[in-house]
């Protein structure tokens, strides 16, 4: 058995059971609104506030999600924490400036993240960032320059390194200049299939689940705004993805912020092998979640709540 398979098997065997505990509900009421970060970027945010919070949590979504992906877990965590989520530029109801004004690269998203934290005056000594998919690399890039940007970062189901062999064919093609435009066009043409299946494509029938009507409707209604689709923003992100992945790997020794790595065992978009290599190279703890796909926070929100609470202990 190779080291990778041994580590992966150990992580799966030691991971806590998932799906057994429902998300607790509280009286906390989520607020939505808009925050202007600069001349080009205004983001829609979702916030659950508490008068005397034990800390703050900031959720960063992936493709093709919006901040409403985290509404239920935010309400559940609102009993103890101030909880934030926002739509990345190009998604939801946030700005979609032209690429000549905003690059949509992971490094550009890192600057948006920094600006949001500063605007909200979050106490970074008491902040946990939970970042998945396209949200994870920006969080780590920011942490390279600002190790105290959070007390802990939880990342998962993303591509920290330039390893196309661990990625789904469509993602691999987006990284290939010769195939990127055709793949980008196909994603826009297949909007209906993406919206219907993005969160369950890697799951067997017995593990299928539904999205809340509010969140599903938000993703669908905001697929296209101001002349740009979520697939367009995703393609722009990928146009600079390899550069920023290589930067992270070359500077991994500078990463000082405590980081925890979670991965869905059944993730077909970015295989757990990517998480195994990242955790090994960075000297980080990895938990592979049995039976879970690419979107743990959607499939097993109770586990997400538990992970966030544990980050404050």
- Positions of the chain with pLDDT lower than 70, given as ranges: 1-27
| SS3 label, residue 32 | strand
Instruction: Report the CATH superfamily, name and number, of domain 3-311.
Output: Alpha/Beta hydrolase fold, catalytic domain (3.40.50.1820)
Domain boundaries, the chain: 3-311
pLDDT value at residue 214: 97
pLDDT value at residue 16: 42
Query: What kind and span of H or E run contains 10?
Result: helix 3-14
pTM above 0.75, yes or no: yes
Number of residues that make up the chain: 313
* Model pLDDT for residues 175-188, shown as the tens digit of each residue: 999 999 999 999 99
* Model pLDDT for residues 294-312, shown as the tens digit of each residue: 999 999 999 999 999 999 9
Per-chain mean pLDDT for the chain = 92
Buried b (16+ CB within 10 A) or exposed e, 89-104: bbbbbbbbbebeebbb
* Model pLDDT for residues 163-173, shown as the tens digit of each residue: 999 999 999 99
Q: Is the separation of the CB atoms in 244 and 109 below 8 Å?
A: no
Cα–Cα distance between 216 and 211 in angstroms, integer? 6
* Model pLDDT for residues 74-85, shown as the tens digit of each residue: 999 999 999 999
pLDDT value at residue 202: 83
Residue 154 token pair:
């939880």
pLDDT value at residue 17: 40
Query: What kind and span of H or E run contains 249?
Result: helix 241-250
Cα–Cα distance between 290 and 82 in angstroms, integer? 30
**Cα–Cα nearest to 295, from 181, 199, 213, 221:** 199
């Amino acid at each position: 058995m190779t080291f990778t398979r041994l580590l992966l098997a150990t992580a799966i065997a030691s991971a806590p059971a998932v799906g057994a505990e429902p998300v607790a509900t509280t009286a906390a009421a989520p607020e939505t609104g808009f925050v202007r970060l600069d001349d080009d970027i205004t983001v829609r945010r979702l916030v659950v506030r508490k008068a005397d919070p034990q800390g703050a949590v900031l959720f960063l979504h992936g493709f093709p999600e919006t901040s409403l992906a985290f509404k239920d877990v935010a309400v559940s965590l609102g009993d103890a924490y101030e909880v934030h989520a926002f739509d990345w530029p190009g998604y939801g109801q946030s700005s979609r400036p032209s690429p000549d004004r905003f690059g949509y690269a992971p490094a550009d998203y890192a600057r948006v993240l920094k600006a949001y934290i500063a605007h909200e005056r979050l106490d970074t000594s008491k902040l946990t960032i939970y970042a998945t998919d396209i949200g994870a690399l920006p969080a780590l890039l920011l942490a390279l320059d600002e190790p105290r940007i959070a007390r802990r970062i939880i990342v998962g189901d993303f591509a920290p390194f330039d390893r196309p062999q661990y990625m789904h064919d469509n993602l691999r093609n987006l990284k290939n200049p010769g195939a990127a435009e055709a793949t980008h066009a196909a994603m826009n043409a297949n909007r209906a299939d993406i919206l219907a299946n993005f969160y369950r494509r890697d799951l067997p029938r017995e593990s299928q689940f539904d999205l809340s009507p509010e969140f599903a409707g938000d993703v669908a209604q905001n697929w296209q705004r101001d002349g740009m689709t979520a697939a367009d923003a995703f393609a722009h992100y990928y146009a600079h993805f390899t550069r920023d992945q290589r930067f992270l790997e070359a500077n991994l020794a500078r990463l000082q912020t405590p980081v925890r790595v979670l991965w869905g065992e059944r993730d077909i978009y970015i295989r757990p092998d990517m998480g195994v290599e990242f955790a090994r190279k960075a000297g980080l703890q990895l938990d592979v979640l049995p039976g879970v796909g690419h979107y743990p926070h959607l499939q097993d929100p109770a586990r997400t709540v538990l992970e966030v609470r544990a980050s404050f202990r």
